[in-house]
Amino acid sequence: MDRVQVIELKETILEDNDRDAQKLREELKERGVFYLNVMSSPGSGKTTTILQILERLSKEFRVGVMEADIDSSVDALKIQEAGYPAVQLHTGGMCHLDAQMSRQGMAGLPEDTQVVILENVGNLVCPAEFDTGAVLNLVILSVPEGDDKPLKYPLMFEKCSVAVINKIDAMPAFDFDLEKASAAILRRNPEMKIYPVCAASGEGVDALCEELSGRIRSWLG
Amino acid sequence: MDRVQVIELKETILEDNDRDAQKLREELKERGVFYLNVMSSPGSGKTTTILQILERLSKEFRVGVMEADIDSSVDALKIQEAGYPAVQLHTGGMCHLDAQMSRQGMAGLPEDTQVVILENVGNLVCPAEFDTGAVLNLVILSVPEGDDKPLKYPLMFEKCSVAVINKIDAMPAFDFDLEKASAAILRRNPEMKIYPVCAASGEGVDALCEELSGRIRSWLG
């Protein structure tokens, strides 16, 4: 597997993406597939975090990754090189994925995949507006971005149930207040589970993966 | 000026934003106004960079800032507290500004403003797709985001003429190769002027502002 499968997504103008996303979730429930949608700004460490998650979840589940980008295949290559099934989705300039596009991507993964992880397009705005059909939406905020970001991108933090604060090793170099960031996140979403991690070293990822495993087990039943 | 003027933008579905943006540019040329559109990911240091630019450009020109955000007014407050005219634009969930929205914002700045700086919504995707009518488009890429971003967000780097690489002081802590980043930028746009800076300390901002001043003088005639 040294070459990456690239899927050029076709946009289908669906009248009701919300309904389609709900339908996809029901299909996934029936097929025993957990779908995790990972969103963040460009450069927050989505790929590195996903690699850490894969290392832990793959001990218990059959995992696969969909890498969505406007262009390039660098991320899917990284995932494949680490030994996990991955497809590269090209959105053709689009800034988000919807349920129909998720379906097109999943068709490129092994049929017996139990946990599908989507690395959405790097964007804190638009991906939050489109239900992909995911069972769980996860947002990554990285320390260099600043602790005020939850105030500026409210919908993203409202739509996600798990927030990862990444690059905590860089905290001394940046004016980032973990308590302030957490308070801002909880103001947007009082139910949010917050996990500070350093994806580069793996610090904090075990706790995050316990949360994820619990949710996956309960979904797969 | 301790309170910030907030303008709730109204979306006008214009058939041809490109034509409207061209019209706005012609109007600005006639009125002697230079319009600078600053774009980047969330947390790349747009506000800090703009503050450094203001400090230098305000010695020669009458400056004003439009801060576009989906929510919150923290950025416009910062600019005002530093002593410069600023308006906060709320995009109502929208991920970009267009020419008509630029007009609505400019109406909130002093009439004799010569240089209008727009801090666009933090997003490397959508703002590149909409011509705001700006005379100059500038993109900020910050070191913690990674040197591969120009490959992933091609349109942004094609549409801009000046690229600022910010947070160069953080280079030792991140796996960021300035030459690799520059090469990726130039691959997208061989004409790009690239300025590595540390906006927090002001390092490198003088050279950037010489570039900007030259362009402003030539536009104002």
> Can you read off the two tokens belonging to residue A66?
């969909």
Query: What's residue A135's pLDDT?
Result: 98
Beta bridge partners of A7: A89
Angle at B94 between CA B84 and CA B154, to 5 degrees: 90
Is the Cβ pair B71, A123 closer than 8 Å? no
Q: How is B123-144 classified by DSSP, letter by letter? A: -SSGGGGS----SEEEEEEEGG
In angstroms, rounded to a whole number, what is the distance separating the alpha carbons of residues A204 and A201?
A: 9
- Check pLDDT > 80 for residue A9: no
Local confidence band at B13 (pLDDT 50, 70, 90 cut-offs): low
> Can you read off the two tokens belonging to residue B76?
């416009």
Beta bridge partners of B142: B166
Q: Measure the N-to-C terminal CA separation of chain A; round to a whole number of Å.
A: 32
> Can you read off the two tokens belonging to residue A71?
């262009």
pLDDT, one tens digit per residue, over A134-189 is 999 999 999 999 999 999 899 999 999 999 999 999 998 888 999 999 999 999 99
Query: What's residue B70's pLDDT?
Result: 81
- Check pLDDT > 70 for residue B92: yes
In angstroms, rounded to a whole number, what is the distance separating the alpha carbons of residues B84 and B65?
A: 8
Whether B160 and B192 have beta carbons less than 8 Å apart is answered as yes
In angstroms, rounded to a whole number, what is the distance separating the alpha carbons of residues B109 and B89?
A: 12
Query: What's residue A152's pLDDT?
Result: 87
Angle at A93 between CA A88 and CA A96, to 5 degrees: 70
Q: Which residue reads 């705001």 in tokens?
A: B132
Mean pLDDT score across all residues of chain B:
93
More confident residue, A25 or A98: A25
* B150 vs A contacts (CB less than 8 Å): none
Is the Cβ pair A43, B170 closer than 8 Å? no
Dihedral (CA of B115, B119, B120, B124) sign = positive
Is the Cβ pair A74, B129 closer than 8 Å? no
pLDDT, one tens digit per residue, over A46-79 is 999 999 999 999 999 999 999 998 877 889 999 9
Q: What is the mean pLDDT of the segment spanning B75-90?
A: 94
Q: Which of A91, A119, A152, A167 to mutate to test the interface with B (most CBs of B within 10 A)?
A: A152
Whether B147 and B181 have beta carbons less than 8 Å apart is answered as yes
Is the Cβ pair B155, A43 closer than 8 Å? no
- Percent of chain B with pLDDT strictly greater than 90: 79
- The answer to whether residue B178 neighbours chain A at the CB level (below 8 Å) is no
* B148 vs A contacts (CB less than 8 Å): 72, 74
Per the confidence metrics, is the pTM higher than 0.90?
Answer: no
Q: What is the mean pLDDT of the segment spanning A82-98?
A: 88
More confident residue, B67 or A10: B67
Show which of residues 103-122 on chain B sit within 8 Å of chain A, judged by CB atoms. Answer: 121-122
Q: Which of B41, B74, B93 sits opposite A42 (nearest CB)?
A: B41
Query: What's residue A15's pLDDT?
Result: 66
Beta bridge partners of A115: A34, A63
Query: What's residue A1's pLDDT?
Result: 41
H/E stretch holding B118: strand B115-119
Q: Which DSSP letter does residue A122 get?
A: S
- Check pLDDT > 90 for residue B95: no
Beta bridge partners of A39: A139
- Check pLDDT > 80 for residue B9: no
pLDDT, one tens digit per residue, over B171-207 is 988 889 999 999 999 999 999 999 999 999 999 999 9
List the alpha helices (DSSP H) in chain B: 17-31, 46-57, 74-81, 99-106, 149-152, 154-159, 178-188, 205-220
A13-27, B120-134, B194-208: least confidently modelled range: A13-27
- The answer to whether residue A146 neighbours chain B at the CB level (below 8 Å) is yes
Is the Cβ pair B121, A123 closer than 8 Å? no
Beta bridge partners of A196: A165
ipTM of the complex: 0.76
CA B214 and chain centroid, separation: 17
Domains present along chain B, CATH in parentheses? 10-220 (3.40.50.300)
